[in-house]
Amino acid sequence: MSTIDYKLLKGEDLFTYFTQDHPDKEYASVVALLPNAVGDFQYALKLLEMVVICGAKLVAIYPGQGDEPTPTMKYLGEIMDGGLYVDHSPMLETKQG
């Protein structure tokens, strides 16, 4: 079985990979929140491409569960009971390390 190089995917193919084929099902569920959080599917696709290119990660924050965004996170939009953020710290670790 061959491995998909998701960094070569764009648009709906990239979204489909993350929401259906990505091995981390918890992260797949976070990516699936992106279109509703930003309110525009096409914009969500472009954001996801940028997240991949930059080496960042999407994070769902639920304040009712004690979650708090870190300084490296940027708010993207509202989700049920919380907010969706992009976390740039994975990118920073890659660039520094």
Q: What is the pLDDT of residue 60?
A: 97
Whether residue 64 has pLDDT greater than 50:
yes
Q: What is the pLDDT of residue 42?
A: 97
Q: Which of 63, 64, 58 is nearest to 89 (CA)?
A: 58
Q: What is the pLDDT of residue 49?
A: 97
For 12-31, the pLDDT digits (tens) are 999 999 999 999 999 999 99
Between CA 62 and CA 24 the distance in angstroms is 19
**pTM given for the model:** 0.86
Whether residue 94 has pLDDT greater than 60:
no
Query: What rounded mean pLDDT belongs to the chain?
Result: 90
Between CA 90 and CA 30 the distance in angstroms is 16
Q: What is the pLDDT of residue 97?
A: 42
Angle (CA) 49 32 80, round 5°: 125
Average pLDDT over residues 60-72: 93
Map out the domains of the chain as residue ranges. 6-96
